[in-house]
Chains A and B, each alone.
Chain A
Amino acid sequence: MGFAELVDIEKLLELFESYTKVTGAVTALVELDGTVIIATGWKDICTRFHRVNKASACRCTESDTMLAGNLKRGKTYSIYKCKNGLIDVAVPIKIRGEHVANFFTGQFFTEPPDVEYFIRQAEEFGFERDSYLEALGQVPILSEETIKATMNFFTCLAQQIGEIGLVRREQELMIARLNEKTEEQERFVYTVSHDLKSPLVTISGFIGMIEQDFLSGDQTGLKENLSVISSAARRMRQLLDELLEISRIGIKKNQEEVVNLGTLIRASTDNLSGVINEFKTTVEVESELPDVMVDKQRFLQVFENLIANAIRYSREAKGGSVVKVGVIRGVGELTCYVKDNGIGIEPAYLEKIFGLFERLDTNSDGTGVGLAIVKRIIETHGGRIWAESEGLGHGTTVFFTLPEAKQ
């Protein structure tokens, strides 16, 4: 991002111009790529003569480049006698340690000039002698103290203003993020209240039905109807429990500890041994898995959830259900995967499955909140999660990343 985007250029220009008016100082504020953002008080000798004539202008460009180059190389201060005889000075502007722009002042002498030299120069470039010498007369002779003071003033000023601009930008970003979060929360509340309504309709509807049956003396459907009511109540309870889980994950985190992925995965498959046996699933876990630094309890949940899903959705796979769990090593991060040979997911739904209450297969159990919890856990550990599938009938792989454990 350029310095010009951090500050109010017009206000800064006003400031620089008034300083120039008082002191006659020359200023230029230049982006790192050479774009001149502000320029004030430039002397006639440069603007009407040196920078206009092609040949002399080349020399100007040369010294501009030279100065900028020195600052790029990290010099705190760069002073240069330009090839046309004047002095230029440049200083870097740093905000929070980052070099963001350059401040130039110049077009002065530190001692009375050699007029003969400039007369020869006029001849060489074909400048009109008298007006050139007049312009020369307007170039100030400044002491080193004055020069230092000018530069100090401008760099401090620019730094301050840049800092203000940075803070303002950060504020804007935070407000945007806050609005996003609020919107997300509002959607969440809407979805939750909506999804709790459904089992409530079932419960009160069935109670009314049972009442009617009782009044007419018909007891045949009673047992079944009562069980529908308890299932609906159970569903509501489950939903509320899982919602509480999700909100808890964001609030409280257990201590992170170093744990071996292989050990963790094996612990989760131990917990799932019932389901694994029931569906006769083959679970293949890659060997030689690395250590990670995670909330052990939460990650047990992650693997249990992902592997359980994989088993359930591949229970009817031809040749038996196979679930593979492993790791792909990347730069600074690990990518874990849980792959199944089950019914797969249509591409359009690959993102939706991590949303709340999204369930693609109404025949399986679970209220559909499991993957949303897993996603939250991964995200609080600084990772990302996504699913890939070539479509229905082609199995699914769920990937998630983890930052590499610091040794």
Chain B
Amino acid sequence: MSVILHVEDDLGHALLIKRALEGLPFACDVKLVTDGQAAVNYLNHLNGFVDPISSPRPALVLLDLNLPKMKGLDVLKLIKGSKDLRDIPVVILTTSDSTEDRSICFENQADDFLTKPGEYLELVKALHQVAEEWFGNGVPSKS
């Protein structure tokens, strides 16, 4: 079962996105962490995420930019700067629609940049596209 690591401090947004991902044609487990430091700890199996069975390596990271304790951009840099982690696709999922933020994220090897749409159905569509792109192939569907 593919795991998505969702890094998001706003619980309302987290709920929305979890719900939007439920309609996928294939199974995935969404793990939520609510700050940048926790995301790094999860990926490095530290501090409460030590057990690799309960904290499996994600097939995709959905990353918000405005996070407490460590900014999303710093988390991105850490992931893409690590030999071990850089292969994990990181999709920025943020309220920001600024071209500067977009450029900076791509400069730092983000795999995609998505501005959270206001309309629910658009959010569902966008997230499904993201999921299909990054692990739509060869993943067992719900049976």
Q: Are B68 and A212 touching (Cβ within 8 A)? A: no
Contact for B120 among A197, A199, A205, A232, CB less than 8 A = A205
Whether the Cβ atoms of B9 and A209 lie closer than 8 Å is no
Q: Within residues 55 to 106 of chain B, which ones have a CB less than 8 A from any CB in chain A?
A: 66, 68-69, 95-96
Query: Does A275 count as interface, using CB distance less than 8 angstroms?
Result: no
Cβ of B118 under 8 Å from chain A: yes
Per-residue B-contact encoding for A67-107, CB less than 8 Å = 1, 0 else: 00000000000000000000000000000000000000000
Give min CB distance, B107 to chain A, whole Å.
Answer: 21
* A390→B34 CA distance, assembly (Å): 25
Asked if B10 is an interface residue, CB under 8 A from chain A, the answer is yes
Least CB distance from B77 to A in Å reads 17
Q: Does B15 contact A (CB under 8 A)?
A: yes
Pair B12/A206 contact, Cβ less than 8 Å:
yes
Given the known interface contacts A201-B116, A212-B120, A362-B9, the answer about A206 and B16 at a Cβ–Cβ threshold of 8 Å is: yes
C-beta contact mask, A184-206 vs B, less than 8 Å → 1, else 0? 00000000001001111110111
Query: CB-CB < 8 A to A198: which residues of B?
Result: 10, 13, 66, 95
Q: Which residue of A lies closest to B118 (CB)?
A: A204
Q: Does B123 contact A (CB under 8 A)?
A: yes
Number of contacting residues on B, CB 8 A? 21
Inter-chain contacts of A362 with B (CB < 8 A)? 9, 34-35, 68
The answer to whether A228 and B119 have CB atoms under 8 Å apart is no
Chain B nearest CB: distance from A362 CB in Å?
Answer: 6
* Nearest CB in chain A to that of B64: its residue: A198
Q: How far is the CA of A30 from the CA of B79 in the complex (A)?
A: 64
User: B53 near A: Cβ within 8 Å?
Assistant: no
Number of interface residues of A (CB under 8 A): 21
Please, what's the 1-or-0 string for B106-131, where 1 marks a CB less than 8 Å from any CB in chain A?
A: 00000000001111110100000000
Q: Enumerate chain B residues within 8 angstroms of A360, measured Cβ to Cβ.
A: 68-69
* A199 to B118 CA separation, bound complex (whole angstroms): 10
Do A205 and B16 have beta carbons less than 8 Å apart?
A: yes
* Residue numbers in B under 8 Å from A231 (CB-CB): 12
Chain A contacts of B123 at CB under 8 A? 205, 208
A197 & B12 in contact (Cβ 8 Å cutoff): no
Q: Identify A202's interface contact among B12, B19, B34, B35, CB under 8 A.
A: B12
Query: Is there contact, CB below 8 Å, between A208 and B13?
Result: no
User: At the interface, yes or no: A289 with Cβ under 8 Å from chain B?
Assistant: no
Residue of A nearest to B12 (CB): A202
> Nearest Cβ distance between residue A256 and chain B, in whole angstroms?
37
C-beta contact mask, B1-44 vs A, less than 8 Å → 1, else 0? 00000000110110110010000000000000011000000000
Q: Quick check: A205 and B35 within 8 Å, CB to CB?
A: no
Q: How far is the CB of A189 from chain B (nearest CB, A)?
A: 13
Docked complex Cα distance between A208 and B16 (Å) = 10
Q: Is B9's CB under 8 angstroms from A202's CB?
A: no
Contact B119 A208 (CB under 8 A): yes
Cα distance, A199 to B12, chains bound together (Å): 8
Q: Which residues of B contact A205 (CB under 8 A)?
A: 12-13, 16, 116, 118-120, 123
**What's the least CB distance linking A373 to chain B, in Å?**
20
Q: Which residues of A contact B34 (CB under 8 A)?
A: 362
Collect the chain A residues with CB atoms within 8 Å of residue B95's CB. 194, 197-198, 201
- The answer on a CB contact under 8 Å between A228 and B12 is yes
**Cα distance, A200 to B95, chains bound together (Å):** 10
Q: How far is the CB of A387 from chain B (nearest CB, A)?
A: 17
Complex Cα spacing A153 to B123, Å: 80
Which of B68, B69, B116, B120 contacts A208, CB < 8 Å? B120
Interface residues of A (CB under 8 A from B): 194, 197-202, 204-209, 211-212, 228, 231-232, 359-360, 362
What are 25 inter-chain pairs, A to B, with CB distance below 8 A? A194-B96, A198-B10, A198-B95, A201-B116, A201-B117, A202-B10, A202-B16, A204-B118, A204-B120, A205-B12, A205-B13, A205-B16, A205-B118, A206-B120, A207-B120, A208-B120, A208-B121, A208-B123, A209-B19, A209-B120, A211-B120, A212-B121, A228-B15, A231-B12, A232-B12
Those 8 A-B pairs whose CB atoms lie nearest each other, nearest first: A208-B120, A202-B12, A204-B118, A205-B16, A197-B95, A205-B120, A201-B116, A198-B95
19 other A-B residue contacts (CB within 8 Å) besides A198-B95, A362-B9 = A198-B66, A200-B118, A201-B95, A201-B118, A202-B12, A202-B13, A204-B118, A205-B12, A205-B13, A205-B16, A205-B119, A205-B120, A206-B16, A208-B119, A211-B120, A228-B15, A231-B12, A362-B35, A362-B68
